[in-house]
Amino acid sequence: MRKALLIGGAGFIGKHLVEYLAENRNYEITIADNFFRGKIDENLRILTEKHDIKIIEGDLTDPKVFRTLDSDFDYVYMLASVVGVDYTTSIPHEIIRINTALIFNTLEWLKNASCGKVLFTSSSECYAGTIETFGYEIPTPETIPLCIQDISHPRFTYAVTKMLGESGFLNYSRAFGFDCTIVRFHNVFGPRMGFKHVIPHIVQRFLNNENPFKVYGHDQTRAFCYITDAVEGTVLAMEKDGTNGECYHIGSMEEITIETLIKYTGKLMGFSGEYVDAPTYPGSVSRRCPDITKARRQLGFEPRVHWKEGLQKTVKWYVDYIKSGKELHESFYDNKPD
């Protein structure tokens, strides 16, 4: 039985990845997370009990927590990071401190551990400035330079740490003898993604009866990827042979405007009011869409859930959840890319 460790396994992508691995792979699974709200998510608790999944709870910015881990794993998924536009603007110094510590502590642990392969989860945020400033091609391949626009802007603190992670994991892997693959997520969404991101914000605003409804960044474009597709692409990148040292875009190539996203959400929620264009959020790029040709060719990755179908499922989940009055228990290591 192969052993898999998910660092940040209680976050958005992490929880869905745990579920996929538990139901579809005969692995011995360990989750390491801080469960910063004080308790494990009920769905995750049921899953861990059903499949005898090991839980390591602790602040992973403290290197002592890593000493409680086993020293040998076949697969290590490094998902843990703090992200979200609200966090980058309100606590940018903590984004830098936490994400850097997570990366460094993991790398230092890997030096002396016996791990077959490590997958580091990165983000399209790493080349936000490349597209905006230098006009590189869209859809965008993995080979373009990584660049941000303003090193002092708090919006880019997350991107800076992801660049550090990509470089750190690739170089440590060569120096200390473990395989490593990078995946860059592109606007992954779905149920249980927390409330720090664009789609949950939109749902909440519609439930608050905002009218006229402000469409921030109406003409900006994104290509949204539903969570089940993102998880399958991630597992393919980990398990396929010949991916050591490679980077793959995991996302969809169907580019839509934010206006299209918002108005379809409004249709799903029965909104009959007015829409008005509004300024975009500072630091947000005008267009983003990945070229996933490499992942298709080398991994056999193919997104299967259309964004409208995924949005229907996501909106329904959030509407039901918010109306239920339940508290959302989520990991601070949200691992939800923009």
Residue 192 φ/ψ, nearest 5 degrees: 70, 30
Residue 121 falls within a domain, yes or no? yes
123-160 pLDDT per residue, tens: 999 998 998 899 899 999 999 999 999 999 999 999 99
Residue 46 falls within a domain, yes or no? yes
CB neighbours of residue 137 within 10 Å: 10
Residue 284 falls within a domain, yes or no? no
User: Are 75 and 5 contacting, i.e. CB atoms less than 8 angstroms apart?
Assistant: yes
Cα dihedral across residues 200, 119, 165, 283: positive or negative: negative
User: What is the span of the domain harbouring residue 243?
Assistant: 2-189+224-253+289-304
Domain count, the chain: 1
CATH number at residue 238: 3.40.50.720
How would you class 9 by CB atoms within 10 Å of its CB: exposed for 0-12, middle for 13-18, buried for 19 or more? buried
Residue 195 falls within a domain, yes or no? no
Supply the pTM of this predicted model: 0.94
Q: Divide the 338 residues of the chain into consecutive groups of 10 and give the mean pLDDT of each group.
A: 96 95 96 79 90 96 97 97 85 96 98 97 94 91 94 94 98 98 97 88 96 96 98 98 98 98 98 95 86 98 98 97 74 50
Residue 196 falls within a domain, yes or no? no
CB neighbours of residue 336 within 10 Å: 27
Is the bond leading into 141 cis (omega within 30 degrees of zero)?
A: no
Residue 337 falls within a domain, yes or no? no
Residue 320 falls within a domain, yes or no? no
Residue 258 falls within a domain, yes or no? no
268-311 pLDDT per residue, tens: 999 999 999 998 877 788 999 999 999 999 999 999 999 999 99
